[in-house]
Amino acid sequence: MEKSEGKYSTIHYQKYLELEKILNAQSLRSAQLGQPAHEEMLFIVVHQVYELWFKQIIHELESVIVFFDDKEVIESSLGAACARLDRVEQILKLLVEQIGVMETMTPLDFLDFRNYLFPASGFQSFQFRAIECLLGLPNEQRLTYHGKRYSSVFPKEQQEQLDQIYSRGTMLEVVEEWLERTPFLKLDDFDFLKMYKGAVQQMLRQEEQAIQATEYLSDKEKEMRMKMVGSTDSYFQAILDKKTHDQLRAEGKKRLSYKATLAALFINLYRDEPILHLPFRFMTCLIDVDNQLTTWRYRHAQMVLRMIGNKIGTGGSSGHEYLAKTAQQHQIYADFHNISTLLIPRSALPELPKSMKEQLNFHFNTI
């Protein structure tokens, strides 16, 4: 029982952390079935730790989404969002490192208890699926599980909880809405898209001239380099022409709306302007989280290959093959990654009008 001291109360370390519950939650099936396997303890502890960290990641992601529920995201909220996504990235790095601990168990050690795990599988981690949903992985992009919906392995109540995440708004959706509210794309004396197109055309002309003028390339190499440079009709077309972008979005090749993509490009190009520092950092945080999640998927796939080769997973999936495919196909923020394709040198950036520069700066009036 807790002791009260004024408005505060005292509590023991073990009680506060509920260690009795946590430290008695490792039930070895191999021992229960009369064939104790030493390595099963490690297997259980590692996966329990994963689930604890998944809980923390969900806690952070949900709080960041709440920041973007308002029509106006204030600077302090954006700073806190960056800090919490930084934390998520660090946790994911830790989860990648944790695989090394698991690999101290050899494949032969794993075989001592693997048969006792059927049909349990990491595919049945509800919290991991919740993380994917919160970040914005679309259902149509997911690999299926025996041809069934990804959530079919969960009870009806949990399936409804995953659906509710999408109905409330994922991270990608609330960030898209936030980007669409960017006010600097077209003002009276500045049309970002028009100015950007002119800068791209000039940049491409200069690169083409440099290729043609060099004496170190053969005609065939020059032709190849010219194709690599591209044109306003190649990968720039999706940003210079809304119809092209919308068509790619309809085909599932892009996720962000045209206006949100323009805003993301503007923030990336003019990131040095004071007011755009935090928005740029926030988008970088999303990319970093996406990268770490992809790294974890790939590292997990490699561990499974090492442990069971090409055997079927305990849950009935194709094991390593399935996990490797998720690393390739379950990237969520590809649109932010692809902004790099559209960048131009700082020296080629269209100059912002003085009035706009003032809006993007921090000004203090002492009068």
Give pLDDT tens digits for 91-102: 999 999 999 999
Average pLDDT over residues 191-209: 88
Q: What pLDDT, on a 0 to 100 scale, did the predictor assign at position 365? A: 46
Kindly report the average pLDDT of the chain as a whole number. Answer: 88
In the predicted structure, residue 366 carries a pLDDT above the cut 60: no
For residue range 4-48, list pLDDT tens digits in order: 556 777 899 999 999 999 999 999 999 999 999 999 999 999 999
Long-range contacts of residues 142-151, Cβ cutoff 8 Å, at least 24 apart: 142/330, 143/322, 143/325, 143/326, 143/329, 143/330, 145/317, 146/316, 146/317
Is residue 281 within 8 Å of 82, Cβ to Cβ? yes
| pLDDT above 90: residue 236 | no
Which architecture does CATH list for 37-359?
A: Up-down Bundle (1.20)
Block residue for tokens 């055309």:
201
Q: What is the pLDDT of residue 299?
A: 93
Lowest mean pLDDT among 57-66, 212-221, 320-329, 345-354: 320-329
Every domain of the chain and the residues it spans: 37-359
- Provide CB contacts within 8 A for 280, sequence distance 6+: 267, 268, 271
Do residues 104 and 305 touch, judged by C-beta distance below 8 A? no
Per mean pLDDT, which range of 21-35, 66-80, 309-323 is the poorest? Answer: 309-323
Calculate mean pLDDT across residues 333-353: 91
More confident position, 83 or 223: 83
In the three-class reduction of DSSP (H, G, I as helix; E, B as strand; rest coil), residue 159 is classed as helix
pLDDT of residue 3: 59
Residue 24 structure tokens: 């008695």
Q: Quick one: average pLDDT of 254-279?
A: 94
* pLDDT at residue number 72: 75
Instruction: Give the DSSP letter of residue 33.
Output: T
Amino acid (1-letter code) at residue 334: A
The predicted model gives 140-167 an average pLDDT of: 87
Confidence of residue 316 (pLDDT cuts 50, 70, 90): very low
Closest among 245, 215, 242, 210 to 229, alpha carbons compared: 210
Phi and psi, residue 186, nearest 5°: -150, 105
Share of the chain above pLDDT 90, in %: 58
